[in-house]
Amino acid sequence: MERRMSAVLDVGGLEPPEPMVRILEALDTLGPDEQLRVLIDREPVPLYSILQRNGYGHRTTAQQDHRYEVLIWLVPGA
Amino acid sequence: MKPVDAPQRALSFGDHPPLSLPLRFFLSAPLFAALAAGLLAWHGAPALLTRWSPQTLAVTHLMVLGCLSMTMIGALLQLLPVVAGIQVPRAARVGAVVHACLCAGTLVLACAFWQDSPALFRVAMALLPGGLLLFVGVCTVAMWQYHLPGSGAVVAGIRLALAALVLTMTLGGMLASAFAWPGLIQLPLQRLTDLHAMWGMLGWVGLLVIAIAFQVAPMFMLTAPYPCHLTGAYATWMFLLLGAVSLSSGWSGRGALLHTTCAFLLAAGYALFGATTLHLLARRKRPRADPTTLYWCTAMASLLAAIGLWTWPSAASGATQLALGVLLVAGFALSAVCGMLYKIVPFLTWYHLQQLRETNGRKPPSISQIIPERHAQWQFGAHAAGLLLLLAACYQPALARPAAALMCAACLALWLNLGRAVRLYRQSRNAPNQHLSVPHYHE
């Protein structure tokens, strides 16, 4: 399903759990046909179980500058 | 750009271990530290005359096993999943057993030293290696799995630290056997003790602090990442130097020269880590003197001071030996551990409250409300003052009692501060459900 990029959220340089707080707040307004692009300094492992439990899918890609890009979207039917 | 698909298949996103798993370690640790300081305060000056007295040994082991190792083991059980994506098998049950063995074994060992009781040494020799080997075994099994690509340096460092723990424990076991069965075997006690202390402090504690620093400093203290020359083969080289120093410790002639050279290289390596960390802390974009930063600055300054003291000509004197111990144990290790606790405990509490929100709808408090910074700063002040007094007490034994009493108060204050997080979590968990509509967080 082709999804619109709703926003790019850069949570670099923030102290935990600020990155997670901002991601979860952004997800509150995410539509079913949208995806959130997050740029983050380290792989947000604690976030994954929250996403999975609440019906979000995600894909993480390592970037050239040793940061990570995480794409998050609502899984249909969740 | 490489798609990181594999971690999502390899990791099982099952529930994280309950909050009680890491917290039981993190809340026992300050109590053991307070007990150690309290014991020192009770004995007073005689316990600080030499590092060989039974009281000093009891105090030291209460601190390094009951506080430092306790925190580090609890942190590893939590960090391996979070930082490296490694699932520790049966973490909750293993953690409970390890914690029980560590608590009981440490108390028994301290009593064994204090009472000079061979029977108690035998009991300690069963409890401590049992618990520690279980922990090392479980971590080793876990670390054979795939780990996240970015975590290579941390995992390698942890492996080396665990190997150092096994060596420390083996040496400790040999020493304990000399106490448990007096006169049975002749062992070079002085040499074994020095090696045991070296592997314990510089190997297990030191290498683990270094490995964790690579993640914790950028993550919680917002420093720039550590330079590549430290996150590469550095930890391996330090481990090899420890090995070289150990093997050459009994040699004479040219062997002694090799020994001294390796020892100096080891010291230089640690100085490099300490100085780099201080440099990274100083050059942060948004420097804040929060308690964790203050603690880590203290830790690195103590490390550098210890190295400086060791290279000073009077390093062989008894007082200097004690001062080295105080700087490494209370100055470097305890400060680093306290600093980490003030970040890890609030974060874990917040994270579990966030999970609770999915069922009771209550938004977790902001992280700064979980442990008020003011309280933590006061506690740091007490710790710093206690450390300085303890150092002075190495040269003026009359100061031993007030120094230890202040340190004891500081450790109890740490326990109270961390306890706030527990109370907050329990209140939230037991509060009646609030029927707020929280759009995306209902089942």
Q: What CATH number should be reported for the domain holding residue B248?
A: 1.20.210.10
Q: Is residue B264 part of a domain?
A: yes
- Which tens digits make up the pLDDT trace of B50-108? 878 899 999 999 999 999 999 999 999 988 888 777 888 888 899 999 999 999 999 99
Closest listed residue to residue B281, CA positions, set B306, B298, B305, B268: B298
Total domain count, chain B: 1
Comparing B94-108, B188-202, B232-246, B308-322, the range with the smallest average pLDDT is: B308-322
Q: Is residue B411 part of a domain?
A: yes
How far does the CA of residue B80 sit from the closest CA of chain A (Å)?
A: 11
What residue numbers bound the domain in which B278 lies?
Answer: 19-425
| CATH superfamily for domain A5-74 | TusA-like domain (3.30.110.40)
- Does A42 contact B219 at a Cβ distance shorter than 8 Å? yes
DSSP state letters, A2-69: --EEEEEEE-TT--TTHHHHHHHHHHTT--TTEEEEEEESS--HHHHHHHHHTTEEEEEEE-TTS-EE
Q: Is residue B281 part of a domain?
A: yes
- Cis check for the bond before B22: say yes or no (omega within 30 of 0): no
- Does A64 contact B354 at a Cβ distance shorter than 8 Å? no
| Chain B residue at shortest CA distance from A13 | B222
- Mean pLDDT value across residues B141-162: 85
pLDDT at B39 over 70: yes
| Residues of chain A neighbouring B220 (CB-CB closer than 8 A) | 15-16
Q: Is residue B378 part of a domain?
A: yes
Q: So what's the pLDDT on residue A49?
A: 84
- Does A49 contact B16 at a Cβ distance shorter than 8 Å? yes
Mapped to the 3 state alphabet, what secondary structure does chain B carry?
Answer: CEECCHHHHHCCCCCCCCCHHHHHHHHHHHHHHHHHHHHHHHHCHHHHCCCCCHHHHHHHHHHHHHHHHHHHHHHHHHHHHHHHCCCCCCHHHHHHHHHHHHHHHHHHHHHHHHHCCHHHHHHHHHHHHHHHHHHHHHHHHHHCCCCCHHHHHHHHHHHHHHHHHHHHHHHHHHHHHHHHCCCCCCCCHHHHHHHHHHHHHHHHHHHHHHHHHHHHHHHHCCCCCCCHHHHCCHHHHHHHHHHHHHHHHHCCCHHHHHHHHHHHHHHHHHHHHHHHHHHHHHCCCCCCCCHHHHHHHHHHHHHHHHHHHHHCHHHHCHHHHHHHHHHHHHHHHHHHHHHHHHHHHHHHHHHHHHHHHHHHCCCCCCHHHHCCHHHHHHHHHHHHHHHHHHHHHHHCHHHHHHHHHHHHHHHHHHHHHHHHHHHHHHHHHHCCCCCCCCCCCCC
pLDDT at B356 over 80: yes
How far does the CA of residue A10 sit from the closest CA of chain B (Å)?
A: 15
Are the CB atoms for A45 and A20 separated by under 8 Å? no
Decide if A23 touches B, using CB distance below 8 A.
no
| Angstrom distance (rounded) from CA B405 to CA B88 | 39
Tokens standing for B306?
A: 């210890």
ipTM above 0.90, yes or no: no
Torsion of CA B102, B104, B110, B114, to 10 degrees: -170
Neighbours of B412 (CB within 10 A): 18
Q: Is residue B5 part of a domain?
A: no
Residue A40, strand partner residues: A68
Q: Which of B441, B442, B443 to mutate to test the interface with A (most CBs of A within 10 A)?
A: B441
Q: So what's the pLDDT on residue A78?
A: 52
- Does A60 contact B7 at a Cβ distance shorter than 8 Å? yes
Q: So what's the pLDDT on residue B5?
A: 34
Q: Is residue B52 part of a domain?
A: yes
- Mean pLDDT value across residues B212-231: 91
| Residues of chain B neighbouring A63 (CB-CB closer than 8 A) | 1
Are the CB atoms for A58 and A30 separated by under 8 Å? no
Sheet containing B2-3: order of strands: A4-10, A34-40, A68-74, A56-62, B2-3
Closest listed residue to residue B104, CA positions, set B84, B119, B83, B126: B126
Name the interface residues of B facing A (CB cutoff 8 Å): 1-5, 7-8, 11, 13-16, 81-83, 85, 148-150, 215, 218-220, 222, 225, 285-286, 343, 347, 350-351, 354-355, 358, 367, 439-441
Distances (CA, A) of B163 to A33, B135, B159: 50, 12, 6
pLDDT at B295 over 60: yes
pLDDT at B155 over 60: yes
Q: Which of A29, A40, A49 to mutate to test the interface with B (most CBs of B within 10 A)?
A: A49
- Does B220 contact A15 at a Cβ distance shorter than 8 Å? yes
Non-local (6+) Cβ contacts of B369 within 8 A are: none
| Angstrom distance (rounded) from CA B13 to CA B188 | 50
> Which positions of chain A have pLDDT values less than 70?
1-2, 78
| Chain B residue at shortest CA distance from A78 | B443
| Percent share of chain B, pLDDT over 90 | 70
